[in-house]
Amino acid sequence: MERLANSPVTWMACVGVLVMIAGCASQTVSSTHEQQPPVVEERVAPEPVAPPATARPSEETLKTAKAPSSIPSQLAVEASTPFLLDIPFNFDQYLLRSDAMAMVEVNANRLKEEQVGKVLLEGRGDEVGTAAYNLVLGDRRAQMVKRYLEGLGLPPLEIATISYGKDRPICTEHSAECWEKNRTVHFEVQ
């Protein structure tokens, strides 16, 4: 009998039985909180602004077009590409304003005149909000400008977009005026 008790097979069998008993034991889990119904948040996306079908400016208007004088001078800042304007946006918005549409049309004319083949649209946001939110917002702004440019019927032009969110601000001061300057899409000729 002593030989059977010291046998490795006996010990393995005992361990196996204990594991099976422990695995089959029922566990009681107590819940201290009531189950809450899921919160459903309804968001309605604004309709994107399509380029005007019949209200397209004439060739003469585009040739002589300049940034509208009603645009505040700090928003009509020339891009680092000296002949293209940065496109401004309202706080927490990616839809093009009417003055911004005019600025995109000015840039489209200049791209056509300079026979640019490739342009990068850099979407930006201000320092309000999270980095992730501003990356998405910057991307939506750049995509909106791209769609508007494509709707203007430019000659073949490769348009790429990127979002820097709030990571590459144009203005680094912590003021409302500075944040307004950062809510833009910047044109970079490639």
Q: What letter represents residue 30's amino acid?
A: S
Asked if 170 and 184 touch (Cβ cutoff 8 Å), the reply is yes
Instruction: Tell whether 4 is covered by a domain.
Output: no
pLDDT in tens, the chain (190 residues): 566 566 777 767 767 666 666 666 555 555 555 555 554 444 444 445 444 443 444 444 444 444 444 333 333 334 445 789 999 999 988 999 999 999 999 999 999 888 888 999 999 988 888 989 999 999 999 999 999 999 988 877 899 999 998 888 888 888 888 888 889 999 999 8
Instruction: Tell whether 181 is covered by a domain.
Output: yes
Instruction: Tell whether 20 is covered by a domain.
Output: no
Instruction: Tell whether 14 is covered by a domain.
Output: no
Number of domains in the chain: 1
Q: Please give the C-alpha separations between residue 76 and each of 6, 31, 40, 100, 164, in angstroms, as whole numbers.
A: 91, 60, 41, 10, 20
CATH number of residue 165's parent domain:
3.30.1330.60
Structure tokens at 137: 């917002």
Instruction: Tell whether 172 is covered by a domain.
Output: yes
Structure tokens at 91: 């706080």
Structural domain boundaries enclosing 151 = 80-189
The pLDDT assigned to 28 comes to 55
Residues 6+ apart with CB under 8 A from 42: none
Asked if 139 and 122 touch (Cβ cutoff 8 Å), the reply is no
